[in-house]
Amino acid sequence: MKRFFSILALVAFTFALISCGSDDPKRPDDVPQSVNDAQNYTFEILANSNSTFGLEKEIRLEDFVKLKEYIKYVSKADMKSDSYIKFAGVNKGGYTLTDVVLKVKGTDIQRKIKEVNKDDTYNSLDDLKFIDRVEKRLVSKKKIILLLQGKTDKEINKDVKVEIKLSAKFTL
């Protein structure tokens, strides 16, 4: 009887060990450990005088050209310091944008800029932390919606653009 229970325990242990194997597909040998890539996204602001504006931009992991064939292997993103938020066309029209907010829809990931009254590139530590959080969310969800909101003092009918450069080292 002891022998029967020993064999039964051995069989059960063997099945338990086999079932613990990974269900993930094997990673091909030609997949690199990491890929550096960057993508720029541009918002064009159009707004009436003394009004608010709100724009959306869909951002997808597959937008990153060098990642296209490796998307299923992406496990994390490390933001690179050449990332930025850039306002252009503000000088030309003499505009003042206030209460500017960039945020990832449906999350608490946001960057507030109190006032923009000149063309400028934002890449301070706070700006880069925001971009880092955006990239990490993008890796986990594969697709996000980035919102741009704010107020303007004058009618904007052309030329004002906000460009966001997402640059990262993607670990595969």
Q: Percent of the chain at pLDDT above 70?
A: 84
Domain regions of the chain by residue span: 34-171
Asked if residue 10 has pLDDT above 60, the reply is no
- pLDDT tens by residue, 35-50: 999 999 999 999 999 9
Mean per-residue pLDDT, 85-102? 94
In DSSP notation, 2-30 reads HHHHHHHHHHHHHHHHHHTS--SPPPPTT
- CATH class of domain segment(s) 34-171: mainly beta
Q: Is the pLDDT of residue 60 over 80?
A: yes
